[in-house]
Each structure stands twice: as C-alpha cells, then as structure tokens.
Amino acid sequence: GSGQLFRRVGSCCEQRGSPVLRVSALSDPPVAGGSAAGGASSTATDFLACDNVVGSASWARLALRCQDGVSRMHCSVRYHPVEHSWQIKDLGSPNGTFLQGVRLAPSTWTVLEMNAGPCHVRVGRVCLFLVVGDFVSSKVAPNVQPAIIQENFEASPAVIQGPPTNWEQRLELDNKLRKKEACRRTASEVLDDARRADSYHDKALDRRTNRCEWDQHTTELAAAATSVAVQLAQAFADHQPVSDGHQVGPRRFQEVPPADCHEPCKRPKLTGDTVVFHAGEQNH
C-alpha cells in the first residue's frame, strides 16, 4: 500500500559471506533476426543481499535514466537469507515487470530460478540478465544501506529520513519521540477540559439570568425611591431660597421624571429652578 517501506530482511552470516548477483542491463535489445537496434547500450552492476531498487530514480541501485517505460521505482531484487534464494518484485509500475516473458504480479515476491542459466527480466525497453556471482566476505563487502521504496504517486524519497545508524542519531530520535509523547494530551485531560468548559458556560448562563432578574428588581426599587425623593423635593423646595437669594415658587419648579433619572442618556435637560434631594443633600 501507500507509504509501505521495504527494508532488508536479513544478511548472511560471516562464515558464508554475502551473496552477489551480477546484473547486466541492455537497452534496446536485439530484435527478431539478430540485428541490434540503433543506440544500444549496456551496463553492469552487482546486487548485494539487500533490497536493490531498479528504476529511473537517481538514488536507485540500478538507475535506468532516460529509458522509455521505466518508472522511478520499477522493481526490486533481494536475497532471502532463510530460503537462500534471490527474489524479485514489481513495485506497481504501470508498464509492469516481465520475468522470462511472464508479467509479475505487483507487490509479490517471485523466486528467480537461475540453476539452468541467467534469468531474463524486461523492465520497459531494458532487458536485464541476472547471474549468480561469487560470494563476497561480509568484512570486505561495502555496508550498503537498505533502500527506501515508495509508490509512484508519493513524494520524493529524499524527504524521508532513513533509520538511525549511530548512537547520536538514535539518541536524537529517542528524544524526539519522548517529547512528542510528553506533549500528547491524555484522555483524562481532554475530559477535564470539556467539563471545565461546560461548567463555565453554565455559570455564565446563570449569571446572565440572575443579572436580568436583579436589574429588573433594582429598576423598580429605584423608580419608587426617585418618586419619593421628587415628592420630598416638591414639598421642601416650595418658597425656599436658592443660591442667588430669590424664592423658588411652585410654578418655576421642574419635576424630574423618576424613570429617566437613572439613565444618563435619557436624562432631561434641566432649565429654570430645579431642586433635587440626593442622599440628604440639596442640589440646585
């Protein structure tokens, strides 16, 4: 499937050594009649006991660039240490991989029978000749890292980092995993946050409800108190001297509406002689 990584299954023991597969690639192989096509070229390489990628990618073990019908990750060849056999698998290429003229099923390892002679594998317009070579000691053989194989529709494999190879890389990877695990919220923390949010919304709803009831009750009390205060102002302000010394008469007294005294935006403009008693003090 997508993102599947094929890594090395194992390696041969040091007593036996690492097997080698001789691979010769011939582009534009001879057509029927024995004549070679124009521009034919050949290349040879050795496959070790790991996943050897064949394709047009530059990082492939056998890079077949500028070849028609060859995918970036076309097929893979490996040596199975348990079954002691070389195997090949098509990596989902559109044009397919043909072994001895038979198309291979994608994502299925097929054993290469090389007892009677070399195997012929066709990859696009390139013909591969696979022959078992001599065993190379594991101490002399190069340390080849297993290739990371991706599907055709995935991103560049250069973005994907390989497994750690030394102690520093393993320590760095372990620290990253620990930090990621530490930052992950547990189920109990998520549940506590949900409960806390529900409790906050419930309390806010209660405050809004209680505030509405309290404001209505306070408005009624304030209106009643203002009415009493204005009545007292009318009673005490009649014919009382004000700051300039003249007497306040009943005709010149302006009554302030009780309901509008508590809202500044609705407070009327006071003209003439206006007397208001507030908290026991007389204001003009």
Catalogue all structural domains in the chain, each as residue range(s) with its CATH number.
21-156 (2.60.200.20), 211-283 (no CATH)
pLDDT lower than 70: segments of the chain? 1-18, 28-43, 133-162, 209-284
Distance CA 6, CA 149 (A): 6
Q: 21: number of CA atoms within 13 Å, CB side?
A: 29
Distance CA 53, CA 59 (A): 9
Task: Output phi, psi for 75, to 5 deg.
Answer: -150, 170
Residue 188, pLDDT score? 81
**Tokens read off for 210:** 């209680």
| Widest CA span in the chain | 137
E strands present in the chain = 21-27, 41-47, 52-55, 62-63, 75-80, 85-90, 97-99, 102-103, 110-111, 119-123, 126-132, 276-278, 281-283
128 forms beta bridges with 25, 121
Per-position DSSP letters for 204-264, written without gaps between them: HHHHHHHHHHHHHHHHHHHHHHHHHHHHHHHHHHTT-B-TTSPBPPSTTB-PPPGGGTT-G
Other beta carbons less than 10 A from residue 226's beta carbon: 19
Which of these, 80, 61, 83, lies nearest to 10 by C-alpha position?
80
Residue 226, pLDDT score? 57
φ/ψ region of 280 (left if φ > 0, alpha if ψ in -120 to 50, else beta) reads left
Residue 247, pLDDT score? 56
Residue 98, pLDDT score? 92
Cβ–Cβ under 8 Å, residues 283 and 270: no
Distance CA 225, CA 220 (A): 9
Amino acid at 181: E
pLDDT tens-digit map of 68-116: 788 888 999 988 888 888 889 998 888 889 998 899 988 888 988 877 7
pLDDT tens-digit map of 160-176: 566 777 888 888 888 88
